[in-house]
A and B are shown apart, each in its own frame.
Chain A
């Protein structure tokens, strides 16, 4: 399963959501499908995408928030899973693409390559509705169900460690930041 195919499968479903992605391949691939004002690519601060999504979800409980995370980033902020679980915003969906590597910086393996189970960690952190999917149909169904659910859910998608050929995006991070904030405030 490729991440880009997963993103393509739910691209229509997240059209009206506040979407926060991590940096690197995820951001570039979502951007390549077509940028929207309500898409925010956190181009640094690894680990904080889920915290940022929690802040949006708490501030705007009527808006669906989607955090598109990765194994390397989640591993950098495992404590954040306990905070997410604690406040469990029902309008937040946490999608984690687990390619078992730090793909954007050389492909070095992360701890999920040696057995660390992000869904298991999430469940143990207090997010009972967490699931792992390994094929595109499974991802699409789980992600759509999570987006429609009135509860915090986490979906770990095991994907191939492949990404875009270029990480260039014709969108300055501050342009993205101000455009996103404006989209959230209208």
Chain B
């Protein structure tokens, strides 16, 4: 699986570095290493969600109780959680740090990811949520730290988009994209 283990570790360590003690998550391919790191870390409380919106409620409770958390999900999970984000996190001024895998953007081969990919940034904009891409490995730690700082200072959700460049190691990408032997409507891979 070409999900970047090294960059997943960078993201995980950055979360530890900003004091995250509770991670709520719903798995998707790009998040497998991050979730396994949380699972294997006795100091981390990992909450596996049935649906992403629950994570907004759990993170709200964790914040009110004085600890820091992060919500990991796919962009479609963010779309699923919009009412929770608005009616809980934003209404109640909660510093909700969201790490969102940026599916359906440039390079996406799975047709089912592409509609969500087109609207992710515009939905975040419409919600007034500050969002930044995490792409360069060397910027991960400082960007996560600055995102948490802003979330805590503004008491507002902040979104970090985990991009394909960061999460997916795909040296053969260009060659595959020009491989015309695969009909466009048959493309697809791991969900």
Q: Chain A: residues with CB nearer than 8 A to chain B? A: 18, 20, 40, 42-45, 47-60, 63, 77, 79-80, 82-83, 86-87, 173-174, 177, 180-181, 184-185
Contacts and interface: CB of A to CB of B under 8 A. Distances in A.
Interface of B: 21-22, 45, 47-51, 53-67, 69, 83-84, 87-88, 91-93
Contact of B64 (A47, A79, A174, A184): A184
27 contacts: A20-B61, A40-B64, A44-B88, A45-B83, A45-B88, A48-B53, A48-B60, A52-B57, A52-B61, A54-B57, A55-B57, A55-B65, A56-B64, A57-B61, A58-B62, A59-B62, A60-B65, A77-B54, A79-B49, A79-B54, A80-B54, A80-B57, A83-B54, A174-B93, A180-B64, A181-B65, A181-B66
A152 to B, nearest CB: 14
Contacts of B53: 47-48, 51, 77
A60 to B, nearest CB: 5
Contacts of B65: 18, 55-56, 59-60, 63, 181, 184-185
Nearest to A78: B50
Contacts of A63: 65
A58 B48 CA distance: 13
Given A42-B88, A56-B61, A58-B22, A48 B66 contact: no
Contact of B58 (A44, A55, A79, A181): A55
B64 A83 contact: no
Nearest to A180: B64
B48 A173 contact: no
Nearest to A40: B64
A48 B84 CA distance: 8
A39 to B, nearest CB: 12
A173 B92 contact: yes
B51 A79 contact: yes
Contacts of B69: 55
Contacts of B47: 54, 58, 83, 87
B57 A49 contact: yes
B170 to A, nearest CB: 33
Contacts of A83: 47-50, 54
A55 B56 CA distance: 10
A105 to B, nearest CB: 15
A83 B58 CA distance: 10
Contact of B48 (A86, A177, A181): A86
Given A59-B61, A83-B47, A181-B64, A48 B92 contact: no
Contacts of A77: 51, 53-54
A182 to B, nearest CB: 10
Given A48-B53, A48-B57, A58-B47, A184 B22 contact: no
A44 B61 contact: no
